[in-house]
A and B are shown apart, each in its own frame.
Chain A
Amino acid sequence: MIILDNVSKVFPNRVTALHDINLRVDKGEFVFVVGPSGAGKSTLTKLLYREITPTRGVVMVDGRNLQRLRGTQVALLRRSIGVVFQDFRLLPDKTVFENVAFALEVIEATPREIRRKVPGVLALVGLRQKANAYPTQLSGGEQQRVALARAMVNNPALLICDEPTGNLDPQTAWEIMRLLSEINALGTTVIVATHAKPIVNAMRRRVVAVDQGKILRDEERGSYDFEV
């Protein structure tokens, strides 16, 4: 699904965010990317949906070399990837339904497709009853569910979450993580960049620990810190 081969990223201000990263994620995996702020977690996720391109090395997603993609190909890549952020990024003047439908409208889906797909994905995240509410009328957890629904409405093969629970209380964070697990169980590859230590430790999934632009550890059924 994902192959990073000797990937380095140096930003124009000469900050080296990633240094010779090698990573392989198979289809259907669930991976936590952990590490302190500024470790390079966000940079790593941005490489995957081609928000940025690496300075050196190769990033392959779903068999595509991301550097080689041009214009429309980038758009097509993103249709097969769902992305969720800490700050939800919903449109405040659209309802829950419209926010999710928006993701389909802008890729020129038919109204029929929209009517068919949106209720289904809202049911998946448990927000069927709130379809006509506006984001401001929702709790943080609910807003993140809307964002998840939007990310999932195209049935992507890969879901990337950058600090999905950063703005949520522990209880709600757990709900979102459980939801991500369910989505993963349905076959979607899930990458979660986070520093929600208790959750990572409890879930016992694959953990890739990043610090100062390097991968320190990569463990199956790992935890946030080194086991003592």
Chain B
Amino acid sequence: MKFRTWGYVFREAGRGVRRNRQLSLVSATTVAVCLVMLGVFNLLALNLDHLALTLERQVEIVAYLANSVTAEAAQAMAEQLAAVPGVDAVTYVSRDEALRRLMEQFGDKTELLEGIDQHNPLEASLEISVGDAARVEPVARLVAELQGVTEVDYGANTVAKLFTFTRALRLVGLALVGLLTIGATFLISNTIRITIFARRREISIMKLVGATDWFIRWPFMMEGIIIGLSGTALAVGALWFGYSYLVNRTAEAMPFVPLLNPWVVVPLTAGILAAFGIGMGLVGSFTSLRRYLNS
């Protein structure tokens, strides 16, 4: 196709969108809803992966101690563990210390924890830093055997649980997004069909006087792309504001949750969404073109 023809393609596509203003809007909105879902799941998956990575890199083991273990006994255990090969340092965190830390994390929202110091529910613990990530697992196993240790927590352990959750989430997300994609594509296909119908006279003449198939098809495909991209723009806008807001609020209220920077993940997600949006537009218009044009 000649370069000049693209002007015609855009003009005709724009005319088509204007002619079916309402249906185009409905289609674009459906695309947007679908893409917001896709984006939310994508952002969630990215953040969970990030969280998993952060946890995996942690070379700290926390051994919770039974309340019966005295401070002296705990100190002794700490010294004993410090001698284990691979262990860099061991810190004893008493129940009071644990409570103080919790209050610190809540910052100015300590009123939530009011009265908790009378019945401190926290356990004392030993925080064991391991120099080499590969040594975490064997050290953790050793610590678990010790008398008075109720539970051992370390990164890789949590990561395994997290992965199971992420996998389930991905499946649910995929199914949901899949259904919505079919719906949105169907709507686009219907919108394009109406444009084809409105222009059927022109199309028959175009075929008669020797316009190529691609010349005839492009305006309709461009119309599908415009609808798909409009939906994408809506979705990316919503995700950008929603996610930035979430990140800001989380940074204030729960600074220990490591969320990815919106400037990093939203553009990446936007790219995926745009590809999806354009794809839906193209598939939608193509199904209509195949059914109603090539007769």
From A58-66, A76-84, A179-187, the one touching the partner chain is A76-84
User: Which B residues touch A154, using CB under 8 A?
Assistant: 209-210
Closest chain-A Cβ to B12's Cβ sits at a distance in Å of: 11
The answer to whether A89 and B209 touch across the interface, beta carbons within 8 angstroms, is no
Is A23 close to B, CB under 8 A? no
Instruction: Tell me which residues from 1 to 34 in chain B have a Cβ below 8 Å from any Cβ of chain A.
Output: 1-2, 4-5, 8
From A5-13, A36-44, A99-107, A126-134, the one touching the partner chain is A99-107
The answer to whether A79 and B1 touch across the interface, beta carbons within 8 angstroms, is no
Give A75 to B217 CA distance when docked, in angstroms: 13
Give A89 to B215 CA distance when docked, in angstroms: 20
Give A154 to B211 CA distance when docked, in angstroms: 12
Closest chain-A Cβ to B209's Cβ sits at a distance in Å of: 4
Closest chain-A Cβ to B230's Cβ sits at a distance in Å of: 26
Identify B209's interface contact among A71, A72, A103, A110, CB under 8 A.
A103
Closest chain-B Cβ to A126's Cβ sits at a distance in Å of: 21
Identify B4's interface contact among A103, A106, A108, CB under 8 A.
A108
The answer to whether A107 and B209 touch across the interface, beta carbons within 8 angstroms, is yes
Give A70 to B72 CA distance when docked, in angstroms: 91
Is A150 close to B, CB under 8 A? yes
The answer to whether B205 and A89 touch across the interface, beta carbons within 8 angstroms, is yes
Instruction: Tell me which residues from 2 to 38 in chain A have a Cβ below 8 Å from any Cβ of chain B.
Output: none
The answer to whether B210 and A75 touch across the interface, beta carbons within 8 angstroms, is yes
The answer to whether B212 and A71 touch across the interface, beta carbons within 8 angstroms, is yes
Identify B2's interface contact among A77, A78, A89, A108, CB under 8 A.
A108
Give A80 to B202 CA distance when docked, in angstroms: 19
Is B208 close to A, CB under 8 A? yes
Instruction: Tell me which residues from 135 to 175 in chain A have a Cβ below 8 Å from any Cβ of chain B.
Output: 150, 154
The answer to whether B211 and A106 touch across the interface, beta carbons within 8 angstroms, is yes
User: Which B residues touch A202, using CB under 8 A?
Assistant: none
The answer to whether B201 and A108 touch across the interface, beta carbons within 8 angstroms, is no
The answer to whether A106 and B209 touch across the interface, beta carbons within 8 angstroms, is yes
Is B204 close to A, CB under 8 A? yes
In the complex formed, the residue of A with least CB distance to B1 is A108
- Given A89-B201, A105-B8, A108-B215, are A77 and B210 neighbors across the interface (CB < 8 Å)? yes
Is B109 close to A, CB under 8 A? no
Give A157 to B5 CA distance when docked, in angstroms: 26
In the complex formed, the residue of B with least CB distance to A76 is B210
- Given A77-B210, A78-B209, A154-B209, are A106 and B201 neighbors across the interface (CB < 8 Å)? no
Give A103 to B5 CA distance when docked, in angstroms: 14
Is B213 close to A, CB under 8 A? yes
User: Which A residues touch B1, using CB under 8 A?
Assistant: 108
Interface hub of B4, B210, B216 (most chain A Cβ within 10 A):
B210
- Given A78-B207, A108-B5, are A91 and B202 neighbors across the interface (CB < 8 Å)? yes
Give A201 to B234 CA distance when docked, in angstroms: 69
What is the size category of the interface that chain A forms with chain B? Answer: 20 to 34
Is B174 close to A, CB under 8 A? no
Is A49 close to B, CB under 8 A? yes
Interface hub of A83, A106, A108 (most chain B Cβ within 10 A):
A106
In the complex formed, the residue of B with least CB distance to A150 is B209
The answer to whether B205 and A75 touch across the interface, beta carbons within 8 angstroms, is no
Is B66 close to A, CB under 8 A? no
In the complex formed, the residue of A with least CB distance to B209 is A103
User: Which A residues touch B5, using CB under 8 A?
Assistant: 108
Interface hub of B205, B207, B213 (most chain A Cβ within 10 A):
B205
The answer to whether B211 and A107 touch across the interface, beta carbons within 8 angstroms, is yes
User: Which A residues touch B211, using CB under 8 A?
Assistant: 75, 106-107
Closest chain-A Cβ to B231's Cβ sits at a distance in Å of: 30
The answer to whether A78 and B210 touch across the interface, beta carbons within 8 angstroms, is yes
User: Which B residues touch A89, using CB under 8 A?
Assistant: 201, 204-205, 208
Identify A71's interface contact among B4, B8, B201, B213, CB under 8 A.
B213
User: Which A residues touch B162, using CB under 8 A?
Assistant: none
Give A72 to B213 CA distance when docked, in angstroms: 7
User: Which A residues touch B169, using CB under 8 A?
Assistant: none
In the complex formed, the residue of B with least CB distance to A79 is B210
Closest chain-B Cβ to A190's Cβ sits at a distance in Å of: 17
The answer to whether A107 and B210 touch across the interface, beta carbons within 8 angstroms, is yes
- Given A108-B4, A108-B5, are A102 and B205 neighbors across the interface (CB < 8 Å)? yes
User: Which B residues touch A80, using CB under 8 A?
Assistant: 210
User: Which A residues touch B209, using CB under 8 A?
Assistant: 78-79, 102-103, 106-107, 150, 154
Interface hub of B8, B212, B215 (most chain A Cβ within 10 A):
B212
16 interchain pairs, CB-CB under 8 A: A71-B213, A72-B213, A75-B212, A77-B210, A78-B208, A78-B209, A83-B208, A89-B201, A89-B205, A91-B205, A106-B206, A106-B211, A107-B209, A108-B1, A108-B215, A154-B210
Task: List 10 tightest A-B contacts by C-beta distance, closest first.
Answer: A79-B210, A78-B210, A106-B211, A103-B209, A75-B212, A106-B206, A75-B210, A108-B2, A72-B212, A107-B210
